[in-house]
Each structure stands twice: as C-alpha cells, then as structure tokens.
Chain A
C-alpha cells in the first residue's frame, strides 16, 4: 500500500508544481493591479482576496468580480490568469484520471488489497493454487466444512466463477502466477495460521515449481501436489512434498477397492464427502472377465489393480505402439467388431477409460447393445458433460476431479483422518461394513462431520485437569450429552492415537491419557456439544458421575458437611 502512495505522489509531482507556480504568478499579479472601490478610491486586492478569486477562476467556477467591479488593468490580468491557471488545472485532473486507469497501478492495488485480506485472516487457512474443476470442488467442500481458503489462479474468468459462487466465508483470491515466490508470500506462505498449500493445476511443471518454492520458503508447511508423471512425482518427493496425488493411480486403487472391499470404499467416500449430503448407494463390481478400453495412464492403473485382484482383463487400444501395450486388440472400442473380438458377450464388466467423453459414452452404448448385463465403469473427463453421463446412468462413473478432491480433503480435514483411511484399507470388508452400520445407526444416512480432538491442557483443559488429579476419564464420558447424561451424543470415535500407536474404533471404556488424539465422526450437533465437555470441568464431572458441583463456596462447604 505504501509503495502505491509513493507511486501516485511521484506521478503527481509535475502537475502539482505546474499548479503551484501558475497560481502563485496569477495571485501576485492580481494584488499588484490598481483598482477602485465603490467610492472611486484607489484599491488593491489583498493576497487572500486574490487567492479566493484565482481559486474559483482556475477551477472554472467563476463567481464574477468580487468585491468591487474590476478596473481595466485588473481585467487584463484576469484574462491572462484564466489561460495561465485553467490549463495546469485540467492537466492535473487529466493526470489523476489517467492514474486511476493505469493498469499497472490497478494491478498493484489489487495485489495490495489481496495481501492485506490474507494478513487479516485470524483462523487457520489453506492456500489453493489453481482454480479448475478439481480445486473448485475442493474449495467448495472446505468452505462447507468451515475451513478458510485462499485461492491463486492465473485465469481471471475462472476466478469470476469463484466470485459468483455462494460461499460461507470470504475467499481471498488473486489472478496471478502462483509460481512466483512473491505472490506465494502475499498469499500467506509465511502466515503463522497457514495450514498448508495445495497445488492442483493441470500443468505438472507448474505444480512442481509451486511445491518446490513453498518447500524452500517455509519447509515446515505441508504441501499437497498433483502430479501425473512419474518423474514429476519423484522430483517433488526429493523436495519433501508431503502428499503427491496422482489421479490415475488413485482411480485404479479405488476401482480395486470397490471390487475387493466395497465397504472400505464407501467409508472412504463418506468420511471425505461434504457434510449433509446423502449417502450414495453401494455398488459392487462383479468378479469375472473384464474389457478395458483405452490403455493410457488411466487404463494402465486400472489393469494393474484389476490384475492384482486376480481379474482377467482384455485391453482395447487404438494406438498400441504409443501406449506400449503388447497384448491388446487394436481399435477404439466404439464399433461392435472390436468389442466382439474382445469377447464382450461373455464379459461381466467394461471400463470405458479413454480421455474423450463422447468416445467413452459411445463405447458403453455399443457394449450395452451387445450385452445388456454388463457392469459399466465409465470415465468422465469434463464436468460440463455431467448431464450426458447422468442420462446414461452407468454403474460407476469415475471423474478424476472428484477423486482428487476427496483425497485432498482426507488430508486437509485432519491428518488423523488420512491416517485412519490408510489403516482402514488394511481391514477386512466385514470390518468396514460393521463400522458403516454403526455409523448409520448413530448419524443417519447423511454425510457426517469428521473432526479430531487432542487431549492436552490447551485443547481439552477440563479432561487434562482431571487426569492430573488422577481421576480416570473414559472415552464414553466424552460421548454423553452435557445437558442430560442419560442421552448419548451422536458421535462415534473412529480412532485413538497415542504417540505412534493407533487404535481403530477404540472401545468406549478406554481410559484417556494426556497427549491422546481422537478422531470423531458424528452429527454437527455432537461436534458443537463436545467442546463443553472438553473445556468445562463441571460439565465433565457431571458426565462422569452425575454429580453437580456447586458454584459457590458456601454450597460446596454445605455439601461436604452432609457427606
């Protein structure tokens, strides 16, 4: 802001000096011209009167000849003064207007305002670089979950979309190149409340540059980066990027998870969804022979994961040489001949995974005609094709942007959630199904809130104080309604983490210890009730043994006497 003021002052130097000099000459001249007052006495204007007259003349207001009618000499000087002062006046005004329209100055103003808004943020926030389909979803979900976001994007029209969106918080955004360290620092990389940087542009190089810059500027800041190529991912790892997200690998893993453990998949999807949405109905892909169309990065990941689940898959690829596919049927898959050749008649499922939405739809339509019992997995590339895919209603529609957004959310909501989901993948499908039914019983069919609680004197003073008094506090005590202890809060503890030891779905009679971190999942009402138990010792003791502690000394003393 300071530099802008100096810039304006510097540019205004010339017009201001022109005004001062022309006014000075005109005023002195006017005071020297001989005049007459109403009685015909000789009269000369004072400096103050002259300043007044010249001021209204130069600004073209023109009140006339004040206080007496002018003599010829005065009129002559006024004529000269008009031309002398009006021109510099307009010159200065023109300069001010052109300054206001100066694109450089405007850009400087926008950046300064952005930096100021970021500086004023007083709650933890994330920086999201790039605002495309994926980041749009992510920003929206974070905003819904009550997490602040700062957005940097290089295209103004995408930001316009962001501004039109209806968001809970003000989302500071800037149209600039996020690769520039200066822009990153203005976006809050050095801000003490910055929780991390997410870079999800569709350009690997840009993501790499941002990840590297952030890691060099503030090494302790977590970075989530999208990388589609192996070498980019390797490069990011060498700079200590915390989470690297490859949409193709993720999709393959998720498809395998669907085939192998649908419960785990739903759990994953559910805990990272936007709170309040309804649960999607589970679909379980059949085991048998599959046909995969397209052997790009996406197809490769699908095949790899299907094979790991011991599912045989036939590949159809239009350009086998370029994609490095040895054993496949050549063709696009949109015509019946190739599909028949791949054995569509006795296949159980088809994956349409090319990078062209219309081709994918065409493949699936043709395959359906040949074999109506097929289980259909279709890849959706562009969000604007959504209505077409909705019309078709495939068994599974996979959209890279959704997958990335979910994965990012898992890491951003709480590091504990990401840990939980990783551990959950190693559990059996039955375990997940049991957990889901437990969750449904407590929170209903809508997407629950997920949050983490740390047991220490800062985050849970009441619990910490009781633990120091060697009063055991059990997990179930945190699950009772502080208003009525017979009612339970609608929440489920998903994981208890102490040091390096994690317990999945801990028993409710677990005794808490200082330094425990607990991941809860439950209704928003439970999330808002829990802090009372954590912070207020009175409420916590009531929850533990049903006793009310009296507030006043006298009542407390009386109470002790009775016992």
Chain B
C-alpha cells in the first residue's frame, strides 16, 4: 500500500461525491443545494487537479484534463451565483448553478472511471 495512492484516490473520489451531493435534488429548489457543498466541491476539485500535475503519461494527461473541465464548470457556477444574486430570482440562479455542476459531475465520473481502469490494468 502506498500513502500517495491513497491520498490521490481519496481526493478524486471525494471530488466526485461532493459534486454529486450538490447536484442531487430538484434543479430549481434552493433548499436542496447548499452553498457550502459547492464550496467544498470546488476546493476538493482544485486539490485533485494539483495532485494530477506532472504526470506525463497519456492517462495522466486525460485525468488532468477532466479535472480542469470539472473545475471550470464549478467555478463558472460559483461566479454566476455571486454575480447574479440580487438581480435574478433565486430558483433561476440555482437552476444555472446546478446544471453547470451536473456537467462537472460528468467530468468527475470520467475521472473516477479512468482511475479505476488504471488500477485494474496494474496487475499484481
């Protein structure tokens, strides 16, 4: 067992689960989507991205790009939330943010699939 691998796997899976947690619920109901969950998802996604830096293999490159996609969508969602609050009604804002986080969730799923595929490929 390798501690680095544990940390790596932990952050990638956590990024997906947090993302899922924020995404799940009625798309236009602000009560189903907590801001702290989005915040946690962004932070964990950022950490996962940085952990993927510097891997020159093909799978490493794809892992990094999925993370970048997830980050992009989540951060755009957060920026929309901040900039639109006050001018547009809350259900509309939350719809935008949740749909963006849905895209990020897809990217995170791909990331986890790749991680699993790589692990299976590494035959003992």
Contacts and interface: CB of A to CB of B under 8 A. Distances in A.
Contact of A47 (B39, B47, B56): B39
Interface stretch (A6-14, A143-151, A243-251, A259-267): A6-14
B53 A9 contact: yes
A63 interface: no
B115 interface: no
Contacts of B116: none
Given A3-B56, A6-B56, A20-B46, A13 B39 contact: no
Interface string B34-72: 011001000100110011011010000000000000000
A27 interface: yes
B64 to A, nearest CB: 9
Contact of B54 (A10, A20, A21, A47): A10
Contacts of B82: 46, 48
A17 B47 contact: yes
A21 B43 CA distance: 8
Interface string B70-84: 000000001000100
A460 to B, nearest CB: 50
Range of interface residues on B (Cβ < 8 Å): 10 to 19
Given A7-B54, A16-B50, A47 B35 contact: yes
Interface in A193-245: none
Contacts of B53: 6, 9-10, 12-13, 16
Contact of A20 (B36, B39, B47): B47
B31 to A, nearest CB: 17
B56 A13 contact: no
Contact of B50 (A20, A46, A47): A20
B43 A24 contact: yes
A283 interface: no
Most A C-beta atoms less than 10 A away, residue of B35, B47, B53:
B53
Contacts of A466: none
A263 to B, nearest CB: 64
A47 B74 CA distance: 14
Interface in A1-59: 3, 6-7, 9-13, 16-17, 20-21, 24, 27-28, 46-48
Contact of A21 (B36, B47, B56, B78): B47
A105 B47 CA distance: 25
B47 A9 contact: no
Contacts of A6: 53-54, 56
Contacts of B43: 20-21, 24
A16 B46 CA distance: 9
B51 A13 contact: yes
Contacts of A3: 56
B39 A17 contact: no
A7 B56 CA distance: 10
Contacts of A7: 54
Contacts of A20: 43, 46-47, 50
A27 B56 CA distance: 33
Contacts of A47: 35-36, 39
B61 to A, nearest CB: 10
A9 B39 contact: no
Contacts of B56: 3, 6
A3 B50 CA distance: 17
Nearest to A13: B53
B50 A13 contact: yes
B39 A28 contact: yes
Contacts of B51: 13, 17
Contacts of B47: 17, 20-21
Nearest to B38: A47
Contacts of A11: 54
Contacts of A48: 78, 82
B44 to A, nearest CB: 9
Nearest to A9: B53
A112 B57 CA distance: 21
Contacts of A13: 50-51, 53-54
Interface in B78-106: 78, 82
A42 B72 CA distance: 34
Contacts of B39: 24, 27-28, 47
B46 to A, nearest CB: 5
Contacts of A28: 36, 39
Nearest to A49: B82
A67 to B, nearest CB: 14
B46 A9 contact: no
A244 B47 CA distance: 60
A17 B56 CA distance: 19
12 contacts: A3-B56, A6-B54, A7-B54, A9-B53, A9-B54, A11-B54, A12-B53, A16-B53, A17-B50, A21-B47, A24-B43, A27-B39
Given A6-B56, A10-B53, A13-B50, 18 more contacts: A6-B53, A6-B54, A7-B54, A11-B54, A12-B53, A13-B51, A13-B53, A13-B54, A16-B53, A17-B47, A17-B50, A20-B43, A20-B46, A21-B43, A24-B39, A24-B43, A27-B39, A46-B35
**Which 4 pairs show the lowest CB-CB distances between chains A and B?**
A10-B54, A9-B53, A24-B43, A48-B82
